[in-house]
Structure 1
Amino acid sequence: MKQFCLLFFLFTISLQAQFQANGIVKDSSTNKPLPFASITVNNDINTISDVDGKFSISSPIPLSTFDVSYIGFIKTTVPVQKNKNYYIVVLSQKTNNLNEVLVPKENPGLTIIRKVIENKNNNNPQKKLNSFEFKSYNKLIVTANPDSIDGRIDSVFIQKSIGKQFSKIDSSDYKFKEIIRKQHLFQTEKVSQYQFHNSKLKETILGTKMAGFKQPIYEILAFNLQSFSIYDSSYELFETKYNSPIANDALKDYNYKLLDSLTIDGRNTYMIYFKNKKKRKASGLEGVLYIDQNNFAVAKAIMRIKGVLDISGTHNFKYIPSENLWFPSDKTFKIVKGKNDDDLKILGGTIQFDGDVEKDFKRRKKEASDYTYLLSQSNNFDIHYNTPIEIKKASIYIEIKDDAINKPENFWNTYRKDSLDSRSHNTYLALDSISVKKRIESRIRFGRKIINGYLPIGKFDLDLRKLFSYNNYEGFRLGIGGITNEDFSKKYRIEGYSAYGTKDGNFKYNLATATRVGKFSNSWIGASYTDDVREIASTSYAIDKRIFKLYDPRPINISTFYKYVSWKTFIETKIIPKTESIWELSHSVVEPKFNYLYNLNGKLYSNYTMTTAMVSLRWNPFSDYMQTPTGRIEVEKRFPKFTFQYTQSLPKIWQNDFVFSKIDFKTEYEKKYLNGQKTSLLFEAGYAFGDIPLTHLYNTSPNNLNKETIIQRITFAGKNSFETMYFNEFFSSEFAFFQFKHSFSRVTIFKKIKPSLVLVSRMAWGNMKKPEQHVGVDYKTLNNGFFESGIELNQIFKGLGLSGFYRYGSNQLPKFEDNIAVKINYVLNLGL
């Protein structure tokens, strides 16, 4: 969702200074750009060229000259000329050329980096200081430099068999340039307070405003564009983590080169250039670290990834003599378009790129979006350290104050580093007007609802998941359902559905109502009534959010259901840190809709009454959360995650027939690699004891048809189901399930065919206590385990893929072909 929000602004919608000079630094002998050359001016402003040798100098006062230097080259002084803002600076070598070479062991850059790694804990503010707090002002814009855009109005011709024919006038660049002269495409500001104590860091957003929005899109405020600390073992750019160039194991991933020395805050620093050893595009970070020559702390850092997007992050630090420490002072993040051979399609729009491999590639005319970039700048102030700090609600990583979106203009004038220029003022005025005219907020709200499976209609959100489905018992299940939204009430909600099965000929119903009793914890108390059917022996966690799918393939072939009529009261809450839970008291009348009787002490039950208490809890101890005025959002999903559910029958209450307990548990782990691969692990277990019918035991999610041939058994694959296990083949009163998946990076076979290879292995063990109680069903147990492994080829063409699985172990079937399952996969890619 966060990527969706940022790309929406980046691709659908330069700070000004009194003096600005741009240019490029080149090697005189090769005419190739020199990356990370030092550019200094007479008022102590300094910068460096980027990896393409390009640089930009901004100064509040006019400049007469600026100096360009590079280790091994002759330093040159460039005179500033009136009405000239682009300079080609050519440097001559003194002794050695600076083409990248593998770093030998005696390389001084490598020696310096070893010292940096050794002294990390002494130089990391989050290790050296007991506590600190500061305020920060951030401004994020999406804009373009109007001087870079050719604003001519072109005549467009089309090629005919003889000559060319005039088609139309193209004024798009002219219009874009006129707009960008007056305003930015997008703009947001925020003022935050950062607090650190007891190894916990919290950001409290005191004020925020977003052009075009009365209520900001809170996910944008939670974007982790770049790491807070340069000393973390993983460095993050645009929500992608890379091994840090000063991680403990960084030397295996990076080459280092000493470029130059520079004075920062009156202290001498080394300039160390680093680059990932791998030669593939966008394989890792590259950039420059400025290292204090005395304590080997990072005094400045420039990090960059160049690929489809050209992404850079800069960290500046201020030296604190009393602590012998460099403390973060400001940081900058920038995204511009990189190069790619294929156009990028996102949410129905196409972003064009220049190819970068074919020599005879015909360069297209640049579009307006080629000049568009995102720039985020943060400045820290009011810094205090080693003072008593109490962090309230420390489990929340980001908290947005209720009044943050209603701050008066004098609040912003107090905290802005510089007053807004005319373009920034015009941005708020123009985008606010456009947002109202084009109903941007309503359209984004609509998009949010659709992605989560709801269609907003006035004060009611129609549940798209209830409209249509199919299974072997109900046939086509046609229905309608939904829930009231915030336009109806922020304190009360009503939800429900009704459905009809064309095969069983019965209607199903649900109606629920709830009221919110806690805003910060998002606690609700409510009641519901349900008359419906459910797959037998299926494990359902009440706290699990049902993911919206265009289709749900697994239930298509299920024919064994039970009917239940249930009354429930419940409490939903997030009051326990990093958890969400449901506490439920229910009374159900259950009727199996297949040939089954439950034998309890000689009495046969064809239907029964169950009164139970249940708690379902999800705990995400490593995730980060943002508290907004409208609720809590998981902004940084980290693993492992844990889900726990306990169900206890209540004897002699409300005509309850059985006494039993049921414990369910699962944990999920996911690891993403820098090369695009991903490993996923899932462990799930259940234990039921007491007198409990087969309908409420475990079937470990089978998904295979009992047909003669492999072709007849081809269906859609499930998410975490056994593809070679037949429906109703195994039942258990206790079980353990483990799944391993490893996804490789997508491989290009043809331009439109780029499958993703996934290796899958699943296994389960189980047991059935009191098997004599279950009459009428022929089944096996999992005492000797069940094993299957397979390969998925996902997204072969337009989301469609194929998978194959093989069943082995003690439950392997006599016929070889009966152990094989071939399935169709489908992955819906929204570009999120």
Structure 2
Amino acid sequence: MKITLLLAFWSCLFISFAQDKIQIKEKGTLESIPFVKIIPVGKPAMLADLDGFFTLDLSQVTAFQLKFLGYKDTTILVSELGEQREIFLQPLSEMLDEVTVLPGENPAHRIINQVIENRKKNSPTENNAFQYQSYSKFYFTMDPTALESIPSDTEDSTLKSLKSFFDSQYLFLLESSSTRKFMPPSRDKETITAYKVSGFSDPMFSTFANEMQSFSFYENQFNLLGKTYINPIAFGGTRRYLFLLEDTTVVGNDTTFTISFRPRKGKNFDGLKGQLFINTNGFAIEKVISEPNEPSDNLSIKVIQEYAFIEGKKWFPVKLSSEMSMPIVELNAKLKNSSIIGKGNTYISDIILDPDLKKREFGSVTVETAPDANRKSDNDWDSTRFYELSNQEKKTYQVIDSISKEYKLEQKLVLLSALAEGKIPLGNFNLDLKRLLNFNLYEGYRVGLGLETSKKLLKRAVIGGYAGWANKDKEWKYGGFSEIYLLPKKEFNLRMTFQQDLVHRGGTVFRSTGNTFSTQDVFKQLYVNKMEKQRLAELMLSGYIFPSVKVAILGNYQRVELTQGYQYAFGNQQLTPAEPFDLAETSLEVQWQLREKVMQLGGKRVSLGSKFPKLALKITKSLPTLFEAQFDYIRAHVEITQSIPIRGVGKFTWMVNASKTEGNVPLFLLQAANGTGGNWRLSVVNTFETMLPASFFSDQQVSLFTRFTFLNWKTKYKWTAPQLSIHHAMGTGSMSNRMAHTEVFQTLEKGYYESGIILDKLFINGFSTFGLGVFTNYGAYSVPKFEKNLTFKLSLGFNI
């Protein structure tokens, strides 16, 4: 028995020594090519593994052929191979675009229908909980084809420098490692345990590699660089996509089908093209190569996902690769293809299916960085990396870190982050861009200046102030504030404010959101034409009591002065613009994004959004007995918004807002309908497009705004991509004490209704888009002549 075991052991040992291990790489880039089909003469075919390796007893064959979609078929003679154990395949410069489909059932469709039928069973995020470790590496460099084209004997000093630089290092390099736990259907938690970035320490880069693509190719909407594409294996895939069976390989008891896919001609949607490798074991994805069907002139991306059969249960992603190119960025105008490319891999290991996970291990924060993630030692990294750093990678860290230190790149990154928030850092202070120039119909043009302390001066607090003057009302406005960061991670802050400014008549402001910098909010402000003067002193405590629920408690005392000749009869008194009055209030604000996913990157909270509704609630109660405060009232306002993508069709957005004031109060404490008709002729979402501003007031009202935006029409021109939207809005309300107000306005008792259509992106200029819309109101507040109810508007947007 012992002799038999020894013979078996020696036999296996001899066989393993006899096998030659060979790796297949791409010529030029030297990247490994997984799943290449190897056909030895007189032997069964086989596939290379995830890293392009295969084993073959070269003494038993004279030649073998290598086949892979997108590369030239290559035949290797063993006699010419010698001691070389790396084989290089030449990419095809062109792929055939035209195909002929013969009558009869497409064999690829039968396979794809099986894949779609088994999609939920095979999806990593369905049915099974899991946990794993991952390691990611991503780098940027010059396109290797450009470097290869530089002659070795060139006399051009610039080309010499470029070749010397990129032969020895990369332009940028980052690494990260993480642990992830998942429990169906949606509990998810990933912790970035380590990250290292050449030249920077900010944790915002720690998730870079993971944000290139969706984790799995089974999702209906596949994400590439933040843009969603309809997945070819989503339901209805064979109606949208053309599939072609390119190759069939039998490995053991299983068969792998190579199937190419691309959108069908004439279909109008954001689609993908590439190849699927389908294994008959469960008709699951073994590998997928994919990229957008319509390449961009500015940025292109191609991704690869590779799967392995884990624990005899399920195919699971084990390697995610991304390759991006930026043709718009040329490093040398004389050198063809001298653009920047980026390449990266994420390796997934230590996969455990159905681990013993508890619900308490999860929350709304789905991604967070560990406190010591950027302070790992070299020994820690050596145990984390899948492969040892090359000399090129080591030098990248050394050189880019020194350049960053010399040119203070970290500080420049802080500048860019501040600009995204509407601020310009000026050493110890920040300049508030939102205060420089504004416009509304009441003030006209308002110019001003806002300054606040930066984190360079104060780490746990900020002190600021502003002043401004408007050309229409010819009045100065000013204010100041201080804010203490009590619990920065939860954004728990205590803020004290004093200002002499204006308040929108009939408007509601959520103080805990601050001044927003969005295009639509700027457009809304353009239409404000009724305001009151307000001197305000306020104290606010705000923060996240849960990762997706923000709460603010406020108390204020204010002195208000009516404007524009408006008067209000209050008991036996008549309030006029010449008679200021005092108010005291306490408020509660709640903002809740249902099932919101959040990243906590260091001290920065980053929302990943949610497909569920967002709720905002504000309740205000007056304190009429405090000092000289007047008026006893309760004011409530609620908004619910949601955006719902509809696969292959477009997006439906809706908003409901409702508000009510209990008590006899001036107009500025009631509810103004949100009208944006006339004047600027700009389309503003979630408003009454045909209603003149400040023309309707109520003490209780409810409004509904809906808009369905279809996918844009594909054209052969880059300057236009028309996109149709259908708008509808309605509102109703009442006013119980109308005669107390001298203002001329209407009420919503009879209901206000309007509809319209918008053609966006009729003209595209860089990042800006221009379109046209036409709207009409109907019902009790319309006029008999149809054309008099029409409102034509310009639609502005961004092309991102």
TM-score band (shorter)? 0.7 to 0.9
Kept after mapping to 1: 8 A contact 2:179/2:190? yes
Tell me how far apart the structure 2 counterparts of residues 476 and 328 of structure 1 sit (CA, whole Å).
Answer: 56
1:196: Cα distance to partner? 1.3
Cα distance in structure 1, aligned partners of 2:782 and 2:764 = 33
**Alignment of 1:213 onto 2:182:** no
For the 8 Å contact 1:475–1:503, the answer to whether it is kept is yes
| 1:335 pairs with one of 296, 300, 324 | 324
Task: Name the structure 1 match of 2:135.
Answer: 137
Post-superposition offset of 1:418: 0.6
1:650 deviates by 3.5
From 163, 176, 184, the equivalent of 1:190 is: 176
Change in Cα spacing, 1:88 to 1:796, as seen in structure 2 (3 Å) is closer
* Gap change, CA 1:737 and 1:176, over 3 Å in 2: farther
Pick the aligned partner of 2:389 from 420, 430, 455. Answer: 420
For 2:352 and 2:633, locate their aligned partners in 1 and report how far apart those are by CA, in whole Å.
Answer: 58
Give 1:211 deviation, angstroms.
Answer: 0.8
Structure 2 equivalent of residue 787 of structure 1: 753
Contact 1:646 1:661 in 2 (8 A): yes
CA offsets 1:615-654 (integer angstroms, 9 cap, x no match): 2222222442101222211135545333222222235344
Q: 181-190 or 731-740: which moved more?
A: 731-740
Among 579, 587, 591, the alignment partner of 2:557 is 587
Range 643-652 or range 568-577, more displaced:
643-652
Write the deviation string for residues 682-718 of structure 1: whole angstroms up to 9, x where unpaired: 332222223332112222223345xxxxxxx555554
SS in 2 for 1:770: coil
- Kindly indicate whether the alpha-carbon contact (under 8 Å) linking 2:704 and 2:729 is maintained by their aligned counterparts in 1: yes
2:516 to 547, 552, 555: 547
Residue 313 (structure 1) aligns with? 303
In 2: Cα distance, 1:753 partner to 1:275 partner: 24
Alignment partners' CA distance in 2, 1:819 and 1:388: 64
Distance 2:130 2:392 in 1: 35
Give 1:560's aligned residue. 530
Separation of aligned partners in 2, 1:616 and 1:222: 37
Aligned to 1:508: 477
Quote how far apart the aligned CAs of 1:85 are. 7.4
Deviation of 1:558 (Å):
4.4
Give the whole-Å Cα distance in 2 for the aligned partners of 1:101 and 1:617: 59
SS in 2 for 1:658: coil
Q: Distance in 2 between matches of 1:128 and 1:731?
A: 53
Q: Distance in 2 between matches of 1:810 and 1:418?
A: 73
Correspondence for 2:701 among 735, 738, 754 = 735
Q: Give 1:401's aligned residue.
A: 370
Deviation at 1:320, TM superposition (A): 3.1
Identify the residue that residue 622 of structure 2 maps to in structure 1. 649
Matched, 1:777 2:763: no
Shifted more, 601-610 versus 146-155: the winner is 146-155
- Cα distance in structure 2, aligned partners of 1:19 and 1:300: 17
> Aligned partners of 1:351 and 1:679: how far apart in 2?
42
Tell me the residue number matched to 2:489: 520
Instruction: Give 1:658 shift.
Output: 2.3
Structure 1: which amino acid aligns with 2:614? K
Decide whether the 8 Å contact of 2:116 with 2:234 is kept in 1.
yes
C-alpha distance 350-260 of structure 1, shift in aligned 2 (>3 A):
closer
Q: Deviation of residue 194 (structure 1)? A: 0.8
Q: Which range is displaced more, 300-309 or 666-675?
A: 666-675
- Residues 456 and 293 (structure 1), Cα distance of their counterparts in 2 relative to 1, 3 Å cut: same
> Cα deviation per residue 1:464-490 (whole Å; 9 max; x = unaligned)?
111223445434423211332221223
Q: Secondary structure at the match of 1:109?
A: helix
Write the deviation string for residues 651-690 of structure 1: whole angstroms up to 9, x where unpaired: 5344442232222222333355788965433332222223
Note if contact 1:21-1:57 (Cα within 8 Å) is conserved in structure 2. Answer: no
In the alignment, is the contact (CA less than 8 A) between 1:18 and 1:61 conserved in 2? no
Partner of 2:8: none
Q: CA–CA distance in 2 between the matches of 1:396 and 1:67?
A: 50
Q: Pick from 391, 394, 398: which aligns with 1:429?
A: 398
Structure 1 residue 374 and structure 2 residue 379: aligned? no
For residues 591 and 716 of structure 1, what CA distance do their matches in structure 2 show?
31
Aligned-partner residue type, residue 344 of structure 2: S
| 1:454 alignment partner in structure 2 | 423
Correspondence list, 1:266-345, <5 A: 267-278=254-265, 283-306=270-293, 307-308=295-296, 309-321=299-311, 323-336=312-325
Say whether the 8 Å CA contact 1:625–1:633 is kept in structure 2. Answer: yes
Could you say which residue in structure 2 is the equivalent of 1:386?
A: 354
Aligned counterpart in structure 1 of residue 782 of structure 2, from 806, 812, 816: 812
Contact conserved, 2:704 with 2:731, CA < 8 A, in 1?
no
Q: What SS is found at the alignment partner of 1:766? A: strand
Confirm or deny: 8 A CA contact 2:66 2:73 kept in the other structure: yes
Q: Deviations over 1:131-165 (max 9, x none)?
A: 3211111101112464652114999xxxxxxxxxx
1:379-778 aligned within 5 A: 379-390=347-358, 392-548=361-517, 552=522, 555=525, 558-606=528-576, 607-636=580-609, 638-671=611-644, 678-704=651-677, 713=679, 716-718=682-684, 720-743=686-709, 753-754=719-720, 756-759=722-725, 761-772=727-738, 774-778=740-744
Is the Cα–Cα contact under 8 Å of residues 38 and 66 in structure 2 kept in the other structure?
yes
Q: How does the TM-score come out when normalised to structure 2?
A: 0.82
SS at match of 1:528: strand
User: Secondary structure of the residue that 1:781 maps to in structure 2?
Assistant: coil
8 Å Cα contact 1:184-1:424 kept in structure 2: yes
SS in 2 for 1:702: coil
| Larger mean Cα displacement after TM superposition, 519-528 or 388-397 | 388-397
**Is 1:744–1:756's contact at 8 Å kept on the other side of the alignment?**
no
Looking at structure 2, the residues matched to 588 and 222 of structure 1 have their Cα atoms a distance apart, in angstroms, of 50
Verify the 8 A CA contact 2:189 2:362 in the aligned structure 1: no
Q: Distance in 2 between matches of 1:300 and 1:779?
A: 65
Q: Distance in 2 between matches of 1:566 and 1:580?
A: 23
Q: Does the Cα contact within 8 Å between 2:512 and 2:552 map onto a contact in 1?
A: yes
C-alpha RMSD of the superposition: 4.1
Conserved? CA contact 2:176–2:206, under 8 Å: no
Aligned residue identity for 2:350: D
Change (3 A) 1:525 1:98: closer
1:563-617 CA-partner distances (Å, limit 9, x unpaired) = 1122211112122231333221222222211333333444433443322222222
Distance across 1 between alignment mates of 2:125 and 2:713 = 41
Q: Which amino acid aligns with 1:115?
A: Q
Q: Which amino acid in 1 is paired with 2:670?
A: L
The C-alpha deviation readout for 1:18-47, integer Å capped at 9, x for no partner, is: 9745399xxxxxxxxxx9973579997627
Amino acid at match of 1:22: K
1:215–1:400 CA distance, 2 compared to 1 (3 A)? same
In 2 relative to 1, CA 376–726 (structure 1 residues): closer, same or farther, beyond 3 Å? same
> Equivalent pairs: percent with the same residue?
24
**Change in CA separation of 1:67 and 1:337 when aligned onto 2, cut-off 3 Å:** farther
With over 3 angstroms needed to count, the CA separation of the structure-2 counterparts of 1:152 and 1:808, relative to structure 1, is farther
Q: One-letter code of the match for 2:730? A: A
Does the residue aligned with 2:397 lie in a helix, a strand or coil? helix
Report what 2:6 is aligned to: none
CA contact (8 A) 1:790 1:803 kept: yes
Cα deviations by residue, 1:156-180 (Å, 9 ceiling, x for unpaired): xxxxxxxxxxxxx965544332221
Unaligned stretches of 5+ in structure 2?
1-21
SS, match of residue 436 in structure 1? helix
Map Cα deviations across residues 699-757 of structure 1 (whole Å, 9 max, x no partner).
2223345xxxxxxx555554544343223321112222233334566679997853755
The 8 Å contact of residues 26 and 91 in structure 2, kept in 1 or not, is answered as no
SS at match of 2:275: strand
> What whole-Å deviation, never above 9, does each CA across 1:42-92 have from its counterpart, x for those lacking one?
9976279xxxxxxx9689999996523489x999732366899766699xx
Displacement of 1:381 after TM fit?
A: 1.9
In structure 2, relative to structure 1, the CA distance for the partners of 1:576 and 1:475 (3 Å cut) is: same
Give the Cα–Cα distance (whole angstroms) in 1 for the partners of residues 232 and 509 of structure 2: 45
Counterpart position of 2:231: 244
